[in-house]
Structure 1
Amino acid sequence: MSPAPVVPRPAATVLLLRDHPHPVPGRSPLQVFLQRRVTGMAFAAGMTVFPGGGVDAGDRPDPDHWAGPGPGWWAGRLGVDPDLAGAFVQAAVRETFEECGVLLAGPGVPPDVRRHRADVVARRRTFTDVLAANGLVLRADLLHAWARWITPVGSPRRYDTAFFVARVPAGQEADAHTTEAVDAQWWNPDEALERWQEDEMQLMAPTARTLQEIAGFAESSAVLAAAGHRVIRPITPTVRCEGGRLVSVLPDDTTIPADGFQGRPA
């Protein structure tokens, strides 16, 4: 008798976007922030990913420190109940702050933001506590839903991950000051995909697919505008062996290598 599938843990990830003021000739100005995870991680070790992580018990919205569309609105957008929708958004903002120092909150960034970030990472304080202590509100209006991906059935660790897009607020910079990544930098989507195709970068199927989707846009404003028109349905790939390699098969029968690039996607 086969064991029951692992129940996916809720998670959130954010495509942080910006427009390079002086793009490389032949490249669009659009850039996305990517992190290469340390090889010792239990999930996606060595993979290049967008900032994000699992929903924590403390990721429960506080209406007194929340601005923009509420959990009920996000529930309709993401196809989940309001509690989970609010947790997705809260986790997305918290993880972005923890992993790359970008605070999707307002009005402004506190002068001792590094200390607050360290406290949240170490779980000495909750993210909501930091917002309240500094008179800030979570800016849900800065996020735009892009997709939901669920790890294939049969995987020992499974996640139900909400993908959001957001432009880095003016005056803020994303950094690589996280213990979960060995490298973090801005990439033009086409350049990242080329590195993947050359086996110089490892991408999971959701990351590769999302980079392919945003690569068709020249600027961050176009990505944000497109996000509002996307229909969000959970995507659960299946995995099969094809030509001696593992591939992730998407609902539209597109296949993406699941074990490194080793060839172009079909």
Structure 2
Amino acid sequence: MPSEPVVPRPAATVLLVRDAPAAPPGRTPLQVFLQRRVPEMAFASSMTVFPGGGVAAADRAALPSWAGPDPSWWAERLGCDADLAGAFVQAAVRETFEECGVLLAAPELPADVERYRADLVARQRTLAEMLTETGLVLRADLLRPWARWVTPPAVPRRYDTVFFVALVPEGQEADAHTTEAVEATWWHPSEALEHWQRGEIELMAPTVRTLQEIAEHPDSASVLAAADDRVVQPVTPVVRRDGEKVVVVLPGDPDFAIDIERIAPGGSA
């Protein structure tokens, strides 16, 4: 008798966007920050991804300060309860800070902000504790909901991931100072897709689709405006056999079908 599918773990990922200081010929100004994960990762090893990770228990804690739409607003946009919606937002802010040093908070970041980043990574402090100690305010208003993706039922390690969009705050820089990635840099969305098409980087189906979507926009302002109008509904890719190939397809989109060997080494989607 087949076993029951694994319950997806809540997770959050953030499309950090900016306008390139000088876009090369043939490229729009829009850029997005991508990381290539280390081969040792249990999930999406060696994949090129947006910053993000699983919701931690501490992400459900009440925060001392919160600016912008409250959890009930996010719950309505994301189609979940307020407790989970608030945890999605907290995880998005925490993971973005841990993985690339961008902190969606105000006012001015303290001089020793990297010490707090190291403590969060080591789980020696929680986001709530950091905000309390520094007097910072979480800026939920800097995030926009973009999509919600659920790993297919046949996959043993599953996630229910909310994709957010955020403009890098003025005066902050995204970096590659994380042990979870071997490299991280800014990409023009069309450029990343071209490298994927040539087999030079590996992307999961949600990353491919998201890059295709944002590549339609010329700059960060256009992406943020588009996010405000999006209806976020869970999307679960389907893994099926197509002749001798196993492909990943999207419900309602017959034109999206990717050979699984192109996106997931070892056949894990």
Query: What's 2:45 paired with?
Result: 45
In the other structure, the counterpart of 1:258 is: 260
Structure 2: tracts of 5 or more residues without a match: 265-269
Q: Distance in 1 between matches of 2:47 and 2:263?
A: 12
Distance, in Å, in 1 between the alignment partners of 2:103 and 2:5 is 36
RMSD between aligned residues? 1.2
- Is 1:92 the equivalent of 2:99? no
C-alpha distance after superposition, 1:103-154 (max 9, x if no partner):
0001121110111100000001111111111101110000000000000011
Letter in 1 for 2:23: P
- Aligned to 1:228, the other structure's residue is in SS state helix
Equivalent runs, 1:236-247 vs 2, <5 Å: 236-247=236-247
Equivalent residue pairs, number:
262
User: Quick one: distance in 2 between partners of 1:194 and 1:246?
Assistant: 22
Equivalent residues in 2 for 1:215-230 (5 A)? 215-230=215-230
Identity over the aligned pairs, expressed in percent? 67
Q: Distance in 1 between matches of 2:24 and 2:6?
A: 44
The amino acid of 2:105's aligned partner reads A
Q: Which consecutive segments of 4 or more residues in structure 1 shift more than 3 A?
A: none
**Match of residue 2 from structure 2:** 2
2:198 is matched with: 198
- The answer to whether the aligner puts 1:56 opposite 2:56 as a matched pair is yes
The two structures have a TM-score, normalised by structure 1, of 0.96
- The amino acid across from 2:29 in the alignment is P
Partner of 2:109, secondary structure, is coil
Given that 1:11 and 1:88 are in contact with CA atoms closer than 8 Å, whether structure 2 keeps it comes out as yes
Q: Is 1:131 aligned to 2:113, yes or no?
A: no
Cα offset for 1:60? Answer: 1.9
Amino acid paired to 2:258: I
Q: Is the 8 A contact 2:19 2:219 kept in 1?
A: yes
CA contact (8 A) 2:151 2:236 kept: yes
Deviation at 1:242, TM superposition (A): 2.2
- Give the stretch that moved more between structures: 249-258 or 112-121: 249-258
Amino acid at match of 2:26: G
What is the identity, as a one-letter code, of the residue corresponding to 2:151? T
Q: Which runs of 5+ in 1 are unaligned?
A: none
- What do residues 23-72 of structure 1 show as CA deviations (whole Å, max 9, x unaligned)? 01110000000000001110000000000000000002535311100000
The structural deviation recorded for 1:87 is 0.3
SS of residue matched to 2:261: coil
Report if aligned partners of 2:205, 2:263 keep a CA contact under 8 Å in 1: no
What does residue 267 of structure 2 align with? none
Mapped contact 1:10–1:161 kept (Cα < 8 A): yes
